[in-house]
Structure 1
């Protein structure tokens, strides 16, 4: 008997096993992890270090700073701060996965920015809104931090929230919560939603067309939503489907703040139609939206391809310069 394909067995596709108590066993060998790189070197143009954020929730973040900023004793100019939330459907992955570490290092270098990549608690052990709460907690930590890298090099008046996949969903919801709070002197100027993870009960055309996608098939998305949404909620919950419930009203709040929101998507991603629909509705609600949709790219393509990430970072660089306080 042949093994089931990853598409027909979404748990195997994601390297997870559901335990009788409802928790997950995650395959520790599925993605390589790498330590932070605090020491500059000829091949290390960006330094990084790990910092605890919340002991009780076991959350932490990895900070990235270009070596040129550390060595620049003349200029007192601070750098934009990008707070980047990793992907993984809210159920897998970690800040220190090589995929995300390399991406954040390239981003800090190419944008000449400080990058902070916070961890967050995973579902189903910690269902939403736990991850959103941790995302906001990380901003509070940054706001009050005495860390020398943040104090000396991060411009807290020029902050952008960014995330890939579930991290894109998280960046949006953290932004929404932060919009209603006073985080001064930390000032959010915009959001970068990179292949954001959105859902809904009814299949959209791209989910039907790309049902057998080998990167992030709709069946895997279904499992992630089942594991991360509040118990009893379906995929039309507003955490998943931004076009229902209070979703449109929330977009108006972001629109009134004047934030720029970049929505990135790839034509080979089953969620591309949902991402386009969210961008369209945001525009209708007064949000200043920058659409960046590419033909054929699979879910999270820029994470794996440095040449694609270069063009993404060029677009983000333009967004940052056009949003400068």
Structure 2
């Protein structure tokens, strides 16, 4: 059985190990352009020892933005700026996928440009607050997407995927997790539609499948992954109580597209994880359940050795340890993540974590 430190063939791309840098919002893109900076390039290049880097959530359209200072992939200027990032990672021998994240109802008009407002499957406001440039604000009631706007959203994802390849990315990850737009369509509390996009399981899984199909058609299935979080409650989301009844049909439908990988953000149900892995024919990446606020720990590498996953992803531990694969191989020591600087802007808590000598 391979270990987390062995190479892996990811849909034709050889990755140096089976340790993944998970997508993490860092809120350091320059506004109003919503572009990554030279500091972004340094941050990701420092972590190019990962087998695979998945970037922070990157909006496929202007209305897909939910947080301040997050980058996009829907303008020529954004494509040019991301090219500096991918060049820096590739110069260090790394592999990097862009995560395409439409936040849907999660956001606020003060975060969005040009008078836009959050949209969602239905006009149902999420409980909670979002940070804007004016401070914390309650989520607002989103505007329900029309049928044509749903189709436009599918095209936006495909266009952003093409932009990602033009920017030098090795592929993209479609974000279908964590209470954002595609997860909202899967859910039973955010999606109250009675048309072909809501109600039955077949209808609720339709948009994630259509987006994955469009992205794979635009850039190739070997360059396309998807992230799911069955049972996740982040951003006031509620899945159907029968998780297997929703996610097995979804994963079976995705499997038919021959995507590069499925990235599962586990929520504690290892039995469901095992069923989804068994249903998935290609690379299976696991971000294991750890409990609220607890980062994935060094022992997660054992999930590769015991066959639970092909690759394992780390979030906060990778944020704080730019050379995480080397530290894991050496059994530490590990820098502790500074939560106060996760979204604060600037170099502190971003590119100043030390590597091992």
Please indicate, yes or no, whether the TM-score normalized by the shorter chain is above 0.5. Answer: no
User: Please, what TM-score do these two structures have when normalized by structure 2?
Assistant: 0.37
Which has the larger strand fraction?
1
